[in-house]
């Protein structure tokens, strides 16, 4: 029995896809092992968004060769689609597969005999036009369920459309069938995953279904305790979706909404499809219907042309806004993106300074949001990792909670009252009820 190991860089989508490819291997008789358990085959699923994608990929390949010098190394994922030639030149790489090849890896690579020269099986990204179903497995607590792939937007900083192709989705019927299967397992939380999930519903190039109808259908699936919408573009987060979430049985009060900049000038240069006024409307609508809702925000600092004044515009805008935390990204140049045409580049030290300021603001926002929740009752889903005798979990509105480890509570939903916030910015709790579900 050949042994195969996986390494995944990047986002939830990559994790769900690695999980699906793992199941393909297992169904053909391969044994999945840990990376350092002398595998015969290494599959490395790469990311193009990660800074230093190239360096990271090289490092993982080097590590693989140290562990199994004769092991077969195949590289898949966004970076493989964007830079196949560059990757095939990394010493130790045997195969590079693109976006439309990665799910046919077993058929394309046959018996994994090491070739004299690396095999590069990467077609144009326009060929990546079919939807490949995926969901992650192996974690009892939650699963990432892929409902959509690709993107038809053309944000000027982003390479994802070049790496993953056009927007396409699974059908509601297929997703509900998967959700029913997940509902029969121990998994308690489903995270809807995609590149641009608000754009859900395009099949074979035509819009056939709508995101709100997917949300309504999933809400009826018995056995799913919690459903989280991972990230949704502000212009696609409709009042319908917000209002439905507010009264939903299963969708939790948590949205992650990319903003990217609080300056209209920069939003325009980024080719985003909204102005900041729309973002304010979204946040106000959410808070009107769900005052306890957690709202996470993606922001990019140091985009070309972002002056000190533009940055302060963003900073002040976020400071005023009723949001709960930030994910801060420092702009970095990507080949073949329109942003490279903008000449006024922000020096690296300035980008780092702005990033630091927003990280501090994020901590302040999170603490304030957590403080608003103290004294209230929420349900925590405890996870398996233990840290110095403590277990951790999240409330439905994404407050991170810590409690003394109790094996009986792992992967259980438990009602608690948030009592105070500790030095590590974790909420401590008082018991309210015995187990809610088993
Ligand atoms: S919406 Fe913009 S940033 Fe998001 S994947 Fe599409 S092009 Fe990239």
**pLDDT digit string, tens, across residues 38-72:** 999 999 999 887 667 778 899 999 999 999 999 99
Using a 6 Å cutoff on CB, does residue 151 contact ligand 1? yes
**Mutation choice for ligand 1 from 156, 157, 196, CB with most ligand atoms inside 8 A:** 196
Task: Determine the distance separating the centroid of ligand 1 and the alpha carbon of 8, expressed in angstroms.
Answer: 21
Residue 132 lies in a domain: no
* 260 and 340 co-located in one domain: yes
Q: What is the mean pLDDT of residues 255-264?
A: 98
Lowest mean pLDDT among 243-257, 309-323, 329-343, 349-363: 329-343
Residue whose token pair is 């641009």: 196
How far apart are the C-alpha atoms of 402 and 421, rounded to whole Å?
A: 10
Task: Determine the distance separating the centroid of ligand 1 and the alpha carbon of 155, expressed in angstroms.
Answer: 6
**Mutation choice for ligand 1 from 11, 82, 158, CB with most ligand atoms inside 8 A:** 158
How far apart are the C-alpha atoms of 313 and 310, rounded to whole Å?
A: 5
Distances (CA, A) of 179 to 135, 143, 377: 10, 10, 28
Residue 25 lies in a domain: yes
Q: What is the mean pLDDT of residues 265-282?
A: 98
How far apart are the C-alpha atoms of 294 and 315, rounded to whole Å?
A: 19
How far apart are the C-alpha atoms of 43 and 73, rounded to whole Å?
A: 6
Residue 67 lies in a domain: yes
Selection from 48, 41, 171, 45 nearest residue 101 by Cα:
45
For 12-43, letters b (16+ CB in 10 Å) and e give bbbbbbbbbbbeebeeeebeebebeeebbbbb
State pLDDT tens for residues 148-164: 999 999 999 999 999 99
Domain range enclosing 383: 377-435
Q: Give the number of domains in the chain.
A: 3
**Mutation choice for ligand 1 from 151, 163, 230, CB with most ligand atoms inside 8 A:** 151
Instruction: Give the pLDDT score at 53.
Output: 75
Question: In the numeric block, which tokens belong to residue 84?
Answer: 């196949």
Share of the chain above pLDDT 70, in %: 98
Residue 130 lies in a domain: no
* 220 and 119 co-located in one domain: no
- In this predicted structure, the answer to whether residue 436 has a pLDDT above a threshold of 60 is no
Helix (H, G, I), strand (E, B) or coil at 432: strand
Query: CA-based diameter of the chain, in Å?
Result: 65
Lowest mean pLDDT among 124-138, 147-161, 175-189, 235-249: 124-138
Q: What is the CATH number of the domain that holds 282?
A: 3.80.30.20
Contacts of 8 (CB under 8 A, 6+ apart): 14, 15, 18, 45
Helix (H, G, I), strand (E, B) or coil at 294: strand
Using a 6 Å cutoff on CB, does residue 21 contact ligand 1? no
Using a 6 Å cutoff on CB, does residue 155 contact ligand 1? yes
Atom of ligand 1 nearest to the CA of 233: 1
**Predicted model pTM:** 0.91
Q: What is the CATH number of the domain that holds 409?
A: 2.40.50
How far apart are the C-alpha atoms of 264 and 274, rounded to whole Å?
A: 9
* 345 and 398 co-located in one domain: no
State pLDDT tens for residues 206-216: 999 999 999 99
Lowest mean pLDDT among 8-22, 302-316, 391-405: 8-22
Task: Determine the distance separating the centroid of ligand 1 and the alpha carbon of 194, expressed in angstroms.
Answer: 11
């Amino acid at each position: 029995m050949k042994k195969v190991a996986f390494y995944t860089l990047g986002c939830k989508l990559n994790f769900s896809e690695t999980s699906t490819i793992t199941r393909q291997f297992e169904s053909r008789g391969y044994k999945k092992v840990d990376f350092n358990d002398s595998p015969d085959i290494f599959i490395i699923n790469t990311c193009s968004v990660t800074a230093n994608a190239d360096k990271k990929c090289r490092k993982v390949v080097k590590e693989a060769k140290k562990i199994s010098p004769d092991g077969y190394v195949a590289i898949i994922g966004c970076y493989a689609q964007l830079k196949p030639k560059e990757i095939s030149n990394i010493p130790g790489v045997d195969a590079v597969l693109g976006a439309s090849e990665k799910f046919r890896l077993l058929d394309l690579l046959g018996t994994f005999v090491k070739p004299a020269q690396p095999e590069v099986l990467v077609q144009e990204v326009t060929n990546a036009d079919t939807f490949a179903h995926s969901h992650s497995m192996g974690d009892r607590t939650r699963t990432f369920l892929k409902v959509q792939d690709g993107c038809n937007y053309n944000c000027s900083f982003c390479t994802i459309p070049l790496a993953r192709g056009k927007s396409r989705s699974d059908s509601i019927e297929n997703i509900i069938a998967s959700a029913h299967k997940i509902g029969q397992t121990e998994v308690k939380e489903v995270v809807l995953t995609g590149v641009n999930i608000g754009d859900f519903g395009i099949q074979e190039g035509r819009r056939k279904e709508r995101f709100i109808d997917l949300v309504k259908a999933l809400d009826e699936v018995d056995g799913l305790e919690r459903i989280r919408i991972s990230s949704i573009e502000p212009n696609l987060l409709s009042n319908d979706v917000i209002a439905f979430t507010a009264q939903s049985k299963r969708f939790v009060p948590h949205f992650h909404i990319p903003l990217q900049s609080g300056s209209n000038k920069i939003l325009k240069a980024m080719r985003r499809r909204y102005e900041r006024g729309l973002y304010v409307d979204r946040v106000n609508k959410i808070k009107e219907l769900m005052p306890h809702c957690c709202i996470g925000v993606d922001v990019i600092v140091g985009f070309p042309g972002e002056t000190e004044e533009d940055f302060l515009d963003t900073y002040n805008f976020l400071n005023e806004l009723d949001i709960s935390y930030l994910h801060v990204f420092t702009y970095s140049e990507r080949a073949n993106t329109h942003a490279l045409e903008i000449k006024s580049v922000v020096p690296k030290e300035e980008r780092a300074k702005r990033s630091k300021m927003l990280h501090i603001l994020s901590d302040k926002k999170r603490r304030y949001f957590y403080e608003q929740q103290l004294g209230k009752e929420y349900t925590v889903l405890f996870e398996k990792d233990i840290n110095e005798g403590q277990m951790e979990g999240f409330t439905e509105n994404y407050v991170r909670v810590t409690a003394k480890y109790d094996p009986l509570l792992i992967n259980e939903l438990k009602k608690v009252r948030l009592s105070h916030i500790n030095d590590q910015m974790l909420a401590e709790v008082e018991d309210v009820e015995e187990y809610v579900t088993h």
